[in-house]
Amino acid sequence: MHYQLHFRSKASSFRFSCNRYICISYTSFYRNPDDISSPEALPAAPSSCQSHLVPSNNVKFSRNGQLSYKTRHSEHLEIDDVVLSNKKITSFIRSGDLDSAFRVFESVNVKSVITWNSILAGFSRKYGFLEEARQLFDKIPEPNVVSYNTMLACYWRNADIQAAKSFFDRMPVKDVASWNTMISGFSQNGLMGEAEELFRVMPVRNEVTWNAMVAGYVESGELESALELFKEAPVKGVIARTAIVTGYMRSGNVEMAEKMFQEMEEKSMVTWNTMISGYIENGRAEDGMKLVKKMMGSGIKVNDSTLSSLLLGCSNLSALKLGKQVHQHVVKSPLYLDMTVGTSLISMYSKCGVLEDAWKLFCEMPRKDVVTWNAMISGYAQHGESKKALSLFDEMRRKGTKPDWITFVGVLSACNHAGLVNLGIQYFEQMQNNYGVKPKPDHYTCMVDLLGRAGKLNEAVDLIRKMQFKPHIALFGSLLGACRIHRNLEVAEFAAKNLLSLEPTNAAGYVQLANVYAAKNQWEGVSKVRKSMKENNVIKTPGYSWMEVGRVVHEFRSGDRLHPDLESIRMKLKDLEKKMKLAGYVPDLDSSLHDVGEEQKEQLLLWHSEKLAIAFGLMKLPPGMPIRIFKNLRVCGDCHQATKVISAIENREIIVRDTTRFHHFKNGTCSCGDYW
């Protein structure tokens, strides 16, 4: 969010702006950075003004100069009551109105140290106002420990770590909050070595200190260290316990997270949300849904984080019906206009294959931030609606929303799915030159895929070699996929060698290389790859597809022998095969990696998981209802061709989401234009 503050006087007028990206807790007490209700976060107005009353004229800022003092007789009502003025400043800052708070501050003739601390807190909690805060601090006649702590937190908020360390060393007086601010700052920046060093020499610790350290270790992925410290902690409160739950969930130890959660006598909203999101991130979205129901049954109202986690679970499970129920709940709640929840709904509908509803929601949202725009741009890109994605990107810029690195991942993906090579290169350069966005691994992966699939394999290799950081697995995976399309064995072997040197047990690397050998009918090469897989104990991820019928998610595996309706599914497929061949379908035998006869290859291709799912959908879903299928691997050439034919002969829209994009099959064609 971008906003502007205007401070004007007779003598001067200036403007400055900042971005609302707040990274660390202002008070260092592991609280919400916008929570300034704490006395230590924002000095409250006292009942009497006994300390450090300093008469002054009104203070002016100069962006290029220093603070100056000038009298303003006609522009503001004189406020002589220091208690009332402090309360007004505090109230304006808590409501986020720094402009009004500063005007009150200017009008005060007699300022206590609390007056100065209150306005300093206002500037300190806004990212990008470091210089203004520093000028204010330097003019405080007699700063106290709260003044110093407020300024220290400002350095951390603006990510000026060296300045924070230097300032802390120079502080004439320190209390426990001073030390906590430093420990929280180090912890939240991943500098646990320095945090621990301070922790060990700290004269007095409180519960906040232990919370900051435990949470810091969890955020740094050092769960064992967090657990050791947690055992030492004299008081084990809800914040520390919630941090441990987070650590267990991130390490995949769901059972221990559940045990900790169940043992907690007190649970905060953050605790509940941590468990819900943890279930979902560990592939147990159904358990997350159950916990939401239990939470609501306990009389706890869900918030935007709860609903966002729930909607993410719907996206991961492709549970469209449940997602719609969540949407209905949102419509009836005060969160209907919440930007975070609205954006999560857009993502859910996009990922569940209902792009029309995502767009409708996007248009209805009264406020949109960069995350909202990104969700819709990425949704269009993933569905192959590249023109709409790029048009929306242009509209976003016209309306003054500055794109971030995630925006450009969506833009480059849109170019990739449409084969817009030159335009993709142009956006990649604009991203760096016009917007100052440094390329991240995701951007390079998009570019390698874009160049590779367009047949520019040498250019893709050159781009990898020119990268400023070490190439990652996804880059070589994209390059290998392109090599299969263009049957380029030389580049494929280069990509596979690099990929497997990074991760020797990566099954996809072996499979992709085997695909290239198979496409060139080099079965000896395929055998060598399989032998290497055995020697390295690599297990190939089986292909599977799933779909929702009613409220049940049905899963199908290639060559499935377990589904209860398998016999009728195979009969339906046999019937479909006859119709498809009459309509001109010829099996793409190159999509089979097995060195067997043609008839056996055809049989293996017919039992691919998405074909089983399509047959089941035709049997179980009413005529005219789109069949939505989700797949864990990239759709193969034969299934792509077969699905186009089935959509025509059955007069049915079939929507397939694979690992890279959505394919919308209708009337014998696919939305990807056979470019995927």
- Percentages helix, strand, coil for the chain, rounded to the nearest 5? 60, 10, 35
Spatial contact of 143 and 173, defined as CB atoms under 8 Å apart: no
Q: What's the rounded mean pLDDT across residues 390-403?
A: 96
Tell me the pLDDT tens digit for each residue of 243-263.
Answer: 999 999 999 999 999 999 999
Q: What's the rounded mean pLDDT across residues 634-652?
A: 94
Q: What pLDDT is attached to residue 328?
A: 87
Tell me the pLDDT tens digit for each residue of 319-358.
Answer: 788 888 889 888 888 888 789 899 999 999 999 999 999 9
Q: What pLDDT is attached to residue 236?
A: 92
* Beta bridge partners of residue 60, listed in sequence order: 68
**pTM summary value:** 0.68
Tell me the pLDDT tens digit for each residue of 178-215.
Answer: 999 999 999 988 899 999 999 999 999 999 999 999 99
Place of tokens 């401070």: 7
Q: How far is CA 33 from the centre of its chain?
A: 19
Task: State the helix-helix crossing angle for 113-124 and 98-107, rounded to 10 degrees.
Answer: 160
Tokens, residue 129: 């106002």
Q: What pLDDT is attached to residue 23?
A: 28
Burial call 71-94: b when 16+ CB within 10 Å, e when fewer? ebeeeeeebeebeebbbbbbebbb
Q: What pLDDT is attached to residue 595?
A: 58
Given a cut of 90, whether residue 108 has pLDDT beyond it is no
Spatial contact of 7 and 100, defined as CB atoms under 8 Å apart: no
Q: What pLDDT is attached to residue 593?
A: 61
Amino acid at 184: S
Phi/psi class of residue 388: alpha, beta or left (left: φ > 0; alpha: ψ in -120 to 50)?
alpha
Distance (Å, whole) CA 256 – CA 387? 48
Provide DSSP, 346-404.
HHHHHHTT-HHHHHHHHHH-S---HHHHHHHHHHHHHTT-HHHHHHHHHHHHHTTPPP-
Distances (CA, A) of 535 to 501, 526, 527, 532, 547: 15, 14, 12, 5, 36
Q: What pLDDT is attached to residue 470?
A: 86
More confident residue, 599 or 557: 557
* Beta bridge partners of residue 3, listed in sequence order: 18
Q: For 314, how many CA atoms within 13 A lie in the half-sphere containing its CB?
A: 28
Residue 153's CB is within 10 A of a number of other CB atoms, namely 29
Place of tokens 């953050």: 270
Nearest to 336 by CA among 300, 308, 365, 305: 365
Nearest to 111 by CA among 43, 178, 62: 43
Spatial contact of 486 and 457, defined as CB atoms under 8 Å apart: yes
Q: Among 277-286, 361-370, 630-639, where is mean pLDDT lowest?
A: 277-286
Q: What pLDDT is attached to residue 572?
A: 96
What's the farthest any 2 CA atoms get from each other in the chain?
Answer: 97
Spatial contact of 114 and 46, defined as CB atoms under 8 Å apart: yes
Tell me the pLDDT tens digit for each residue of 410-462.
Answer: 999 999 999 999 999 999 999 999 999 999 999 999 999 999 999 999 999 99
